[in-house]
Amino acid sequence: MISHILLADDGSENARLGGELLSQLRFPPGTEIDVLQVLNPRDLHGSSGKQLAAVQELQKLWEKPDLVEKGWQVIPHVEIGHPAEKIAALASQKKSELIVLGAQGKRAALQVLLGGVAQQVVEYTDQPVLVVRRRPDGLKKILFATDGSIHSERALDFLAELPLPQGIEVHLIHALPPIPPEVVVESWTTSPDVLMPLPPMMADVTTLQAEEEAHGKNLLEKAVQRLAKQPFTLETHLVTGDAGSEILEFVTQNQVDLVVSGSRGLSPVKSWLLGSVSRKLVHYASCSVLLVK
């Protein structure tokens, strides 16, 4: 049961939508929502009038009637410094089970894009991260992407526990790997009345494709079984191609409101980001994205 959530709010439109999206979920009364505002040190320098304006703007962010009226406990926090660092630190301190933040923040003119902050939070925190983009129309359609990894299994478990609105559509997708160019066999001449045996290389590729397809169908079936007791409709999709590109294409063609996926985060070498699919989703998805490590 999810009971501790961190909402990063910088006053931007996407951050506001994060609060709206949360309000659509059916978390029980007493759920703790930590609302974090990170101030830039330069905003606190200068005249007392400038400081007062910054505080007054902050106070507006504390007013969360759509969350309070659900019986949730909304707790404001103020930090000064780098947003990603402060978000990660508070999430660790409060043992947050979900971090919610906008895809692009308010300080674009200062080159402090929350898009960059969102990517850093995804990379360097262990908690699930919900990156909010575009206003969901009642959160009607969700896409869950699975690749069979332990990260996908954790994301599936998290989705199963997420108190979604009733009647929502959940689409499950798995992308089969494309045939590598180096194993594509050139066509040969034949005729309708002559049956040519498959060359050894093509036979191997055909067997591999059949095995991949069977594996993909099995993954989707297991996901369906895991979510079968939830109050929403399920539909599976088996596609072939680059996973990130196929997911983004599905989102665009089907007006998906939220994508849920596992994320591997960082390798021990901190500059190496693993999970290019996660990075593509954070940067290019036209909808909100929930990444679970």
How large is the average pLDDT for residues 55-81? 79
Each residue of 110-122: pLDDT tens digit? 333 445 788 889 8
**Whether residue 178 is found in the same domain as residue 115:** no
Confidence of residue 274 (pLDDT cuts 50, 70, 90): very low
Confidence of residue 261 (pLDDT cuts 50, 70, 90): very high
**Whether residue 24 is found in the same domain as residue 77:** yes
**Whether residue 227 is found in the same domain as residue 283:** yes
**Whether residue 117 is found in the same domain as residue 174:** no
Q: What is the pLDDT of residue 239?
A: 95
What is the overall mean pLDDT for the chain? 81
pLDDT at 85 over 90: yes
Q: What is the pLDDT of residue 142?
A: 96
**Whether residue 11 is found in the same domain as residue 81:** yes
**Whether residue 60 is found in the same domain as residue 174:** no
Q: What is the pLDDT of residue 203?
A: 54
- Look at the chain and report how many structural domains it folds into: 2
**Whether residue 186 is found in the same domain as residue 276:** yes
**Whether residue 290 is found in the same domain as residue 163:** yes
pLDDT at 224 over 90: yes
How large is the average pLDDT for residues 82-111? 81
The domain boundary residue, chosen from 132, 158, 191: 132
**Whether residue 165 is found in the same domain as residue 293:** yes
pLDDT at 180 over 50: yes
The domain boundary residue, chosen from 74, 107, 132: 132
**Whether residue 111 is found in the same domain as residue 198:** no
Q: What is the pLDDT of residue 167?
A: 86
Q: Which domain holds residue 74?
A: 1-132
Residue 9 maps to which CATH number?
3.40.50.620
Confidence of residue 59 (pLDDT cuts 50, 70, 90): low
Confidence of residue 109 (pLDDT cuts 50, 70, 90): very low
pLDDT at 293 over 60: yes
Q: What is the pLDDT of residue 102?
A: 86
How large is the average pLDDT for residues 246-268? 85
Q: What is the pLDDT of residue 49?
A: 56
**Whether residue 138 is found in the same domain as residue 262:** yes
Q: What is the pLDDT of residue 122?
A: 87
pLDDT at 137 over 90: no
Q: What is the pLDDT of residue 276?
A: 75
CB atoms closer than 10 angstroms to residue 177: 14
The domain boundary residue, chosen from 108, 132, 156: 132
Confidence of residue 135 (pLDDT cuts 50, 70, 90): low
**Whether residue 283 is found in the same domain as residue 139:** yes
Q: What is the pLDDT of residue 200?
A: 57
